[in-house]
Structure 1
Amino acid sequence: MRTDPGLLEEEAIELVRDLIRIESVNTGDPATIGDGEARAARYVAERLAEAGIDGEYVEPAPGRGNVVARLPGRDPSAPALVVHAHLDVVPASAADWSVPPFAARVLDDARHGEVLYGRGALDMKGFAGTVVAAVRALRRGRVQPRRDLVLAFVADEEAGGAHGAQWLVEHRPDLFAGATEAIGEVGGFSVPLPGDSARRAYLLATAEKGVGWGIMRARGAAGHPSRPTRDNPVGRIARAVAAIHDHEFPVRRTEATAAFLAALGLLSGRDLSGDGAELERELDRLGFVGDIARAGLRHTATPTVLSAGGRPNVIPGEAVAEIDTRILPGGEGEIEREVERLAGHGVAVEWRTMPPIAAPADGPLVDALRAAVAAEDPGGVVVPHLSPASTDNKHFARLGIAGYGFTPLRVPDGFDAFGLLHAADERVPLSALRFGARVTARILATA
């Protein structure tokens, strides 16, 4: 490509640091969110405008800023590709960090070289800044993408997208006209292959688990604990929580999981064809790569919130528990029925769900991602996998857009990028950002 890789890389780092310094914290509470998302969106719009790219600024609620821009491709008959990044971040308690979380400091690390610390470095201002740098580089080099690119920088992903991707899909679908595929989070980070230091797997999320939130309620007669009753709702909700906590759903190989295990087994020399304890033992030998695989094997149901009563000398009339469920593609409805069975008689469950999504594990876009990685890392292999997390790809799926999680970073072996999402001291090596900028520019030009 006719781009200056050095300028591209340094501009990507500068843009990412600027975005981190904009405190676009999404608390989930409109009273405490502020205008950080709006300031971040306007910053992105300004940087795009400098390159002659006009974006439309959309603010569904005060301070909740979104920017969407379209770059025309050289093949007008080709469907458009959506490239999206959210500009909000989860809260960060400075007391838990070794550096101020919004200072965007670069520190020297003995193992990983220069490392950028900051909330959003990985999730996902790192990719937002990289995309802006990449399209600016394409403009400088007069490189026109193969097909239309719809660049979407959105608010509110960390709280479900009601003022971001969800709102845009419901109220401004025209901005995504003609798009059939999308690239966003979570994926693209490299992971080491045990026993082969020359090769790495770059995980491509071709599917996402669905998300279900269940509120379990047990009701009974309030009273005095000196005269205990058998229908004490605290006991019933406690038994329900314990049953759900102890339950393990069976292994199910979805298309994405089967492709991941097959590729991982071939690359690592491990037999990952088994189920149950045999498969668990093999995954244990793969370290945190095995943990990533394990997260996509089963439905999960995790109790997260308990509430009942207010005084120790009062039997409450109601006890409540909340659970988080993650649903495999093709398993819609199953987990709800199983949780309700485990909860038992006298416990009602109310549900709010987002269904799972799945995109083809092969095709021209996947080929383009593989080629872009191979051009910058001959030892890199793009491997499909099932993401247990939920992203804005679920909202774009409502428009018939197949979503992929791929924000490319080549990280040092032993650097668990997935484990740093939402964590204290979130950080990314500058070498990984430079690599990501080069690969992203190739993807945007050729995908």
Structure 2
Amino acid sequence: MTADVVDLCAQLVRFDTTNHGAGDARGERDAAEFCATVLSGAGIEPTILESAPRRANVVARVPGTNPDLPALLVQGHLDVVPADASEWTVDPFSGTVTDGYVWGRGAVDMKDFCATVLAALHSLAATGRRPRRDIVLAFVADEEDRGEYGAHWLTTHHPDLFADCAAAISESGGYTYHVRDTNGRKIRLYPIGTAERGTAHLKLTARGRAGHGSRRNDDNAVTRLVGAVHALAAHNWPIVLTPTVEAFLERTGKALGVDIDLQDVDATLDRLGDAAPLVESTVRNSVTPTVLSAGYKVNVIPGTAEARVDGRVLPGTEEALLSEVDALIGPDIEREFLSRSLPVQAPVDSPWFDAMSDALRSQDPDAVVVPYCLGGGTDAKAFSQLGIDCYGFAPLWLPEGFDYRAMAHGIDERVPVEGLRFGTRVLEHLLVHA
């Protein structure tokens, strides 16, 4: 079996591992068996663990040269979000390689990284090299839903597999982000995820008096709910500078020659220009209304109305966010969690961050490596609960003008061939030297 990273990525894309949510997923077992076969070809003994029929997870351990060092967890997910083939230029599960890209659903989220890991391990085995420390591998199911069949299931039922892991790497970091400094000089940023906002998905329920739509009703559940939702949507959430965000602003500003004023973050974001999208969603919490549900007939005032809102929570701020939500929606609106996951925060100034930075600079000496906070979430939320410092580091070279952040879950998702090869070399360096 070939261990070329491009071919591995294309083959992984061809497994339809669509996750529709609520337990409706397919293909993860087939992709897991493929990964297990590739690992076996590199002399690594994998184990497939099913959380439910065909909801498969692959775990393995690669011995390092120094078993006294704490292990590094390298984790990625095998499932993908749905894709409507009618909207795509190519079949989203074709794994087409053309124009210098691997095309297909999961090409950047995140079968590219899974392929990079497999290729790097094959390269180490072929050249007789070994990691400096033990590497624990986890290719998991269900990240695109709630992780109940994947990372959260593993950490609940098999925490012993990760007992000696001090740090972890996974998606959403270590990729090229092209910007220009104040003199117009091109700068290549490489953001490494050292934090993630937490999730507070909430259901809001308003209750009132049902009645005829033609009659006055001062106890209208729909009206009450709309007022609460509007209050949330219109609220200007305060700036909160976490250690990761503050470090991003200071280090990126220095690299670009931009004056950073931590007392006026909005003005600072304006000065950051093209670098601002990396941080603008993580300088504050957010609560976004996404679903409204009420009524069944136009001339009937319903007795209940419901809304669902997507809350994102910076480290150390959940209590304050929920208190503000309650104040905004008022005492007559019931609030309950639909799902809840805590924020993630790993040390910015650490040997792990330094090792990842060195690995990137081994392939791009001019790389400017900065920490950043993910606005959404990953399986790091599960593994961090075991005391593991989780980093977003899935190295990838990207050409200027390539909108990487629009690829995940997007139409015509694709990853550059040269980016995959770059990422494999970076990952090899990290595994050997970290």
TM-score band w.r.t. shorter chain: over 0.9
Q: Which residue of 1 aligns with 2:93?
A: 102
Q: Where in structure 2 are the equivalents of 1:212-291 lying within 5 Å? A: 212-276=200-264, 279-291=265-277
TM-score under structure 2 normalisation? 0.96
Q: Which residue of 1 aligns with 2:25?
A: 33
Quote how far apart the aligned CAs of 1:173 are: 1.0
* Alignment partners' CA distance in 2, 1:339 and 1:390: 21
**Alignment match of 2:425 (pick from 438, 441, 444):** 438
Secondary structure of the 1:407 match is coil
Quote how far apart the aligned CAs of 1:193 are: 2.7
Equivalent residues of 1:73, 1:144 under 8 A apart: yes
Quote how far apart the aligned CAs of 1:414 are: 2.1
Equivalent residues of 1:193, 1:267 under 8 A apart: no
**Alignment match of 1:338 (pick from 324, 328, 333):** 324
Quote how far apart the aligned CAs of 1:198 are: 4.6
Give a deviation string over 1:89-147, Cα, whole Å, max 9, x none. Answer: 01111122122111111232xxxxx1221111110000001101101111111111110
Given residue 167 of structure 1, which amino acid in structure 2 is its aligned partner?
Answer: W
Quote how far apart the aligned CAs of 1:211 are: 0.5
* Alignment partners' CA distance in 2, 1:144 and 1:223: 73
Quote how far apart the aligned CAs of 1:275 are: 4.2
Task: Give yes or no for the alignment of 1:89 onto 2:64.
Answer: no
Equivalent residues of 2:253, 2:272 under 8 A apart: no
Give a deviation string over 1:292-322, Cα, whole Å, max 9, x none. Answer: 2101100000000000001101100100000
* Alignment partners' CA distance in 1, 2:154 and 2:274: 36
Quote how far apart the aligned CAs of 1:274 are: 3.9
Given residue 25 of structure 2, which amino acid in structure 1 is its aligned partner?
Answer: I
Quote how far apart the aligned CAs of 1:182 are: 0.4
Equivalent residues of 2:9, 2:102 under 8 A apart: no
Q: Which residue of 2 aligns with 1:75?
A: 66
Equivalent residues of 1:208, 1:389 under 8 A apart: yes
Q: Which residue of 2 aligns with 1:111?
A: none
Task: Give yes or no for the alignment of 1:63 onto 2:64.
Answer: no
Q: Which residue of 1 aligns with 2:297?
A: 311
Quote how far apart the aligned CAs of 1:237 are: 0.6
* Deviates most, 90-99 or 400-409: 90-99
**Alignment match of 1:141 (pick from 119, 127, 138):** 127
Q: Where in structure 2 are the equivalents of 1:121-200 lying within 5 Å? A: 121-195=107-181, 197-200=185-188
**Alignment match of 1:400 (pick from 387, 391, 408):** 387
Secondary structure of the 1:65 match is strand
Given residue 423 of structure 1, which amino acid in structure 2 is its aligned partner?
Answer: G
Given residue 336 of structure 1, which amino acid in structure 2 is its aligned partner?
Answer: L
* Alignment partners' CA distance in 2, 1:174 and 1:296: 33
Q: Which residue of 1 aligns with 2:13?
A: 20
* Alignment partners' CA distance in 2, 1:288 and 1:99: 30
Quote how far apart the aligned CAs of 1:77 are: 0.9
* Alignment partners' CA distance in 1, 2:10 and 2:245: 35
Q: Where in structure 2 are the equivalents of 1:268-417 lying within 5 Å? A: 268-276=256-264, 279-351=265-337, 352-417=339-404
Instruction: Report the RMSD for the aligned CA atoms in angstroms.
Output: 1.5
Given residue 224 of structure 2, which amino acid in structure 1 is its aligned partner?
Answer: R
Q: Which residue of 2 aligns with 1:51?
A: 42
Quote how far apart the aligned CAs of 1:20 are: 0.2
Secondary structure of the 2:377 match is coil
Task: Give yes or no for the alignment of 1:419 onto 2:406.
Answer: yes
Quote how far apart the aligned CAs of 1:199 are: 3.0
Runs of at least 4 residues off by over 2 Å:
195-199, 279-289
* Alignment partners' CA distance in 2, 1:281 and 1:169: 42
Given residue 266 of structure 1, which amino acid in structure 2 is its aligned partner?
Answer: K
Equivalent residues of 1:186, 1:389 under 8 A apart: no
Q: Which residue of 2 aligns with 1:3?
A: none
* Alignment partners' CA distance in 1, 2:333 and 2:82: 34
Equivalent residues of 2:261, 2:268 under 8 A apart: no
Equivalent residues of 1:130, 1:437 under 8 A apart: yes
TM-score under structure 1 normalisation? 0.94
* Alignment partners' CA distance in 1, 2:222 and 2:272: 41
